[in-house]
Structure 1
Amino acid sequence: MKEKWKAIASLLEGEYDIQVQGSYEGWGAGYDPKVLPLVEMWARGEVQDIPSNIKRPVGVVFGIPDLVRKSEEYIINAIRHEISYLLSADLPLWKMGQREFFRFGYQPTAFLVLYTVLESIRADERILEQYLNSAYTLRRRYEEVLANLKNTYPYHEFALGFLRLWLSKPEEIDTSVRRQVLSLEDFFKEYIKADSQRAYLLLMEEAFGKYRACIEDSLEFNYIDMLIEEALGKTKQGHKGRIMTDILKKLPEEYQHLMSSFKSSRQVPEELRRDILKRLKNLPDWMKDYIKQMSYMSLLERDLEFISYFLPKTLQTEVEHRGFVSFLIKGWEETSSEGSGLSQKDAKSSEESPIDRKYKREYGLDQEEFRRYQLLMRGIMPFVESMKRKFKRLMPEEEEGWLWGYTHGRRVDYRKMHIEIPTKRGRIYQRRVIPEKKQLAFKLLLDVSSSMKREDKIENAIKSLLLFSQVLSEMKMPFSIDAFAERIFSIKSFEEDYMSAKARILELNKMLGGGTNIEKALLVSGEDLQIFCRKQGIKGVMLVFSDGEPTRGLKGEALKDLIRELKARFPIVGIGVGETKNFVEEYFDKTGIKIRDVSMLPSAFMLVMENQFRRLQSSS
């Protein structure tokens, strides 16, 4: 499978004359480290223009997990889209547009809602000029995006109207903005063919006026949505909940009850909506100020969710104050094709103290990490020794030996000559016997999503990982550890020495956050396990630990089907925590283990390993 990704990378390198690498860590792009400060200044809008060769990245990393279940044609065009988007992105314009919208009194992300969609289409137009046969898969990508978008407002639909025009589906443009979008059809045709500077001017001169009206309409819809959320009793934090309660109570009692019968502002009759908005205008000034602030934040959150579908994945982003989106520009380092070429700015300094270097050589950890490691291992070592003794009884190490009874060989067994010569059987030779080593490869998947922050889950999980790793390492069993949330993080590969992975295990508590995408974790880690086992000619087992329901990717019957499909290839055991019903019971069926408390995790790992070793022995 890895050869497939290398072949795709090689094809795209030839097309774009930049380095292309696949990675299980996600998307990214890197620039020449020597000119990185200048590129960063340009991206922030501090320098208006720089030479075109400096703007061009040295390499691009594509995220394999996002593409693993797609056709080859889809994969190639998805990466083409990202590279084309990256090469055409005039980053200072992204900042300038947000600043202009902010000065007009709108959330800056409102600019990006329109700009990211138009720029995404413009990038694909460049692809179609060279590869006309890419049209089908490029359009299919957008159809998938449109199917996932929810909770849109008129200005979101205004931006999507141009996408539907490009897909030749004008009839699907939302009725609230269809007239405005169709009136700008000539603008759109000119925009997607223009260069960056010209395209930006066209947007601000020709489209902004009509787009601005859609933003104003959306603001009114958002006020109603916040009242509906309050009426439905949705949880809010801090003063936001209290203020919205007070605002809702300013409406007539019949309106208060009526609001709970709607799911969104789009369902509220226009006459009722207008009356509610009129009443909101008569609120005290401090209340009107608060609802404006809360609406600002609410629209920011919706915008960020919307633009995540259209931002270039290769440009890692962060949200600054007041919702400004900033790109994280990184350097590119020459590395092997197995790893990512992106250099990490926040990597530890190479200048370590002599004592830290000594600790690193001996233990794989610096002095502070080793101190913490010892504290954790203090409560684990008795279990380590107990598990080692138990597993060695199950899988005793057989020594090399000599077996007699052969008619040919180099070593004569003189003790058998007095029997074998008179009977004329001639089995007087011995042969060296090297026992076949019985091995299992373990792949451990650990959930590091936001839910792991509760109680002492992550601390107990780290202890269990150290126990798991120490035992398998001393038994010379190959194992790999991946952490997952919305993305997959490799903590230890099969080929890597355990000592070099200790520090990453200790740092797992800093990785917590995000949703739970078990589908992506199973696919990526399952492929890695299969490739390793196939190369080594051994059997593999996957252990999945999670404390909550999946919030991303496949769910329900679709996820059950995927797990059943993977179980046909290798054993998968799910370990869940909690007294109440959890996902392992539902999705993993007979191979799911539920433990009441996370402190029982070491015992659960021990039980799973023991069962798998017994199976290996019986199959032998």
Structure 2
Amino acid sequence: MKERWKVIEKLLSDEYDIEVQASYEGWGAGYDPKFLPLTEMWAKGEVEDVPEPVKRPSGIAFYLQEVSNKPEEEAINTIRHEIEYLFSTDLYLWRLGQREFYKFGFTPTSFLVLYAVLESIKTDERLIKSRPDSLQTVKKHYKNILNNLETYYPHHLFALSLLENWLGEGNYQKDTQKFLQEYLNAKSRDAYDIIMEDLFGRYMSHIEKAQDINYVDLLLEEARGKTRVDAHRGRIMTDLLKKLPEHLQEIIVQNKDKRAVDISEADRKEILKSLKAVPDWMRDYLKQMSYINLIERDVEFIRHFLPKTLEVDIEHRGFLSFIIKGWEEQSSSSSQSGFGRSKREKTEEDRLYEKAYGLGKEDFMVYKRMLSDILPHIDALKRKLVKLMPQEEEGWTGKHFYGRRIDTKSLSVEAPLGRGRIYMRRHIPVRKELAFKLLIDISTSMKREDKIQNAIKALLLFSEVIESLKMSFSIDVFSDRVFRLKAFSEDYKAVKWKIIELFNLLGGGTNLEKALIYSYEDLQTFCLKNHIRGCIVVFSDGEPTRGLKGQELKSLIAQIKSRIPIIGIGVGTERNYTDYYFEKSAIRIKSISELPTAFTRIIENQARRLLSFQ
């Protein structure tokens, strides 16, 4: 069996000039790491024209469990379909189309319902032309989808009607045949224009019908008493149902076990007409719930026609995006935390450097270059902070009624007045301490505009200053996951090498919710144990792609702020959401020249505010 897959791997690797591997974990596609930032920008619709090597994956992994039960020719064609799909489709257009449909008030995924089907057909059209013997295998694949796919929404059915026409089944429509012929023979951009010019008008009417049907489906779902996690939603939908005339409520209750399309069209129209009379805020709420519900149904449909080799993510407002990965992930062979030291053999000189600086000679030179831009500002920031946080040194204060020394400065004033406050007393200042948690975003979006370079320089400035003042601090980095770069108990010198490794860990989505909760709990535990106050400083472009987003994430940040101060520092100007999420405690950094001033302001303000409670 193993030899069989090795032969298939070799066959397809030679055929497409990419690396093809069998996998027991699932499908996967990977791109050249050196092109990855540009590949991701292209897939997100930020740049249109990119070189061909950027679009071309370096390799794919096919899922053995899915293809092992298929005949050999069918298994090979399944893998070929995935490779051809990635080679032929233009990911920029997937994003562009979603934007176009969103502008018209439709769900972004409604574009993909149509586009995913057409691109899948176009992929197999190319496959059949180069290998005519694969025709029956392709037809069998699509017939299995048509037989197993249960949908009744008009825009889904419209997309499937195109597939049926291509297969030579269903109702023959001359204009559809003409459209398919033009689309399949056109280049990617021209094919996209054909959709928008020739098909959009017809397709739009089907989306509008789907929206109307979905309103009724939501009311039927409410009548069924479907269990919801969101009790608030259930209460509003119940109130909305009760706003309808009694005879319509009875119709919905009587048909609660049916689908909206199974109710007579006359009753459906009357229900929709009655919904227009409910209060505006209820109608807006129903639209919002319908928007979310249609996205869920669209994604369920789309998955049958998307490349299996690319993972997908639903972003804020319902945009679907592909998760682009490097073929060689730098952190895959590292330790569980994601960090791993170079295995280069150490010289005696390296050992001497490590003893003095915590880094080998080569790493120290890299660290020194990174530090050079902010070195002039470190001493200035130290001086300001020392005034706020006095060291444990003895001193003498005057104007007391008794003491061991005479205050000569106050003697000339106090003696004539007879108040007697002429003595000095020994004073030992209480050391005031703060604990800082630094949270730095290393997701894919931080690669643009030199954001990560500015964020790492900010990390260095902060760490060098706070370390020199002997204050407690910890550093976490995050993307999809959260890594502990430095714990409160660790020596900063021992973790400097990890800062250099950050550039090798860049990539992935942004789960700000997970990072905030993880860091808040760690800081809270440390502060309670040591009876000091803490502060969280977040460096990010503030654009979450995983976990909580929008108002929900904003509410979470507000809750944390009520317990521990939290500052968001936005790096870069493009698509920066820090101001939105962190509001008054947000600071925007456009360039490295603004970094020292911003940091000085943050630490001074927080130190004064926090220390005033002690």
Q: TM-score, normalised by structure 2?
A: 0.53
Matching residue's letter, 2:271: I
- For the 8 Å contact 2:166–2:180, the answer to whether it is kept is no
The 5-angstrom pairing of residues 279-298 of structure 1 reads 279-298=274-293
Q: 1:271 to 1:304 in 2, by over 3 A?
A: same
Matching residue's letter, 1:158: F
Matching residue's letter, 1:138: V
Aligned partner of 1:219 in structure 2 is 211
- For the 8 Å contact 1:222–1:299, the answer to whether it is kept is yes
- For the 8 Å contact 1:330–1:344, the answer to whether it is kept is no
Aligned partner of 1:259 in structure 2 is 252
- 1:35 and 1:346 map into 2 onto residues whose CA distance is 26
- Is 1:349 aligned to 2:344, yes or no? no
Aligned partner of 2:223 in structure 1 is 231
- Is 1:245 aligned to 2:235, yes or no? no
1:148 positional shift: 2.1
- 2:5 and 2:250 map into 1 onto residues whose CA distance is 57
- For the 8 Å contact 2:29–2:60, the answer to whether it is kept is yes
Aligned partner of 1:305 in structure 2 is 300
Q: 1:201 aligned to 187, 193, 198, which one?
A: 193
Aligned alpha-carbon RMSD (Å): 2.3
The 5-angstrom pairing of residues 470-481 of structure 1 reads none
- 2:220 and 2:284 map into 1 onto residues whose CA distance is 19
1:332 positional shift: 1.5
Name the SS of the counterpart of 1:62 in structure 2.
strand
- For the 8 Å contact 1:22–1:63, the answer to whether it is kept is yes
1:193 positional shift: 1.7
Q: TM-score, normalised by structure 1?
A: 0.53
Q: 1:342 to 1:148 in 2, by over 3 A?
A: farther
- For the 8 Å contact 1:42–1:50, the answer to whether it is kept is yes
Q: Deviations over 1:428-474 (max 9, x none)?
A: xxxxxxxxxxxxxxxxxxxxxxxxxxxxxxxxxxxxxxxxxxxxxxx
1:239 positional shift: 1.9
- Is 1:314 aligned to 2:314, yes or no? no
- 2:76 and 2:181 map into 1 onto residues whose CA distance is 26
Q: 1:84 to 1:209 in 2, by over 3 A?
A: same
- For the 8 Å contact 1:231–1:257, the answer to whether it is kept is no
Name the SS of the counterpart of 1:260 in structure 2.
helix
Aligned partner of 1:567 in structure 2 is none
1:183 positional shift: 3.4
Q: Deviations over 1:139-168 (max 9, x none)?
A: 111111122212330000011111111111
Q: Deviations over 1:202-235 (max 9, x none)?
A: 0011100000000001111001111111112112
User: How many residues of Structure 1 are paired with residues of Structure 2 in the alignment?
Assistant: 340
Q: 1:149 to 1:60 in 2, by over 3 A?
A: same
Name the SS of the counterpart of 2:182 in structure 1.
helix
Aligned partner of 1:164 in structure 2 is 164
Q: Deviations over 1:31-90 (max 9, x none)?
A: 111221121121122222111123111111111111121111110111111111111121
1:344 positional shift: 9.9
Matching residue's letter, 2:91: L
Q: 1:110 to 1:88 in 2, by over 3 A?
A: same
- 2:170 and 2:56 map into 1 onto residues whose CA distance is 36
Name the SS of the counterpart of 2:20 in structure 1.
strand
Aligned partner of 1:111 in structure 2 is 111
Q: 1:207 to 1:31 in 2, by over 3 A?
A: same
Aligned partner of 1:183 in structure 2 is 175
- 2:311 and 2:186 map into 1 onto residues whose CA distance is 26
- 2:211 and 2:313 map into 1 onto residues whose CA distance is 25
Q: 1:342 to 1:85 in 2, by over 3 A?
A: farther
Name the SS of the counterpart of 2:47 in structure 1.
coil
1:347 positional shift: 6.8
- 2:249 and 2:227 map into 1 onto residues whose CA distance is 17
- 1:283 and 1:166 map into 2 onto residues whose CA distance is 44
Name the SS of the counterpart of 2:61 in structure 1.
strand
- 2:178 and 2:233 map into 1 onto residues whose CA distance is 44
Matching residue's letter, 1:156: H
- For the 8 Å contact 2:113–2:301, the answer to whether it is kept is yes
- For the 8 Å contact 1:330–1:343, the answer to whether it is kept is no
- 1:343 and 1:299 map into 2 onto residues whose CA distance is 41
- 2:334 and 2:134 map into 1 onto residues whose CA distance is 34
Q: Deviations over 1:357-379 (max 9, x none)?
A: xxxxxxxxxxxxxxxxxxxxxxx
Q: 1:159 to 1:345 in 2, by over 3 A?
A: farther
Matching residue's letter, 1:197: R
- 2:121 and 2:277 map into 1 onto residues whose CA distance is 43
Q: 1:276 aligned to 264, 268, 271, which one?
A: 271
- For the 8 Å contact 1:219–1:295, the answer to whether it is kept is yes
- 1:254 and 1:103 map into 2 onto residues whose CA distance is 37
Q: 1:280 to 1:345 in 2, by over 3 A?
A: farther
- 1:343 and 1:187 map into 2 onto residues whose CA distance is 49
- 2:220 and 2:175 map into 1 onto residues whose CA distance is 34
Give the stretch that moved more between structures: 260-269 or 198-207. 260-269
1:252 positional shift: 2.6
Tell me, which stretches of 5 or more residues in structure 2 are unaligned? 344-614
Matching residue's letter, 2:293: S
Give the stretch that moved more between structures: 35-44 or 296-305. 35-44
Sequence identity percentage:
53
- For the 8 Å contact 1:332–1:343, the answer to whether it is kept is no
1:4 positional shift: 1.4
- Is 1:55 aligned to 2:50, yes or no? no
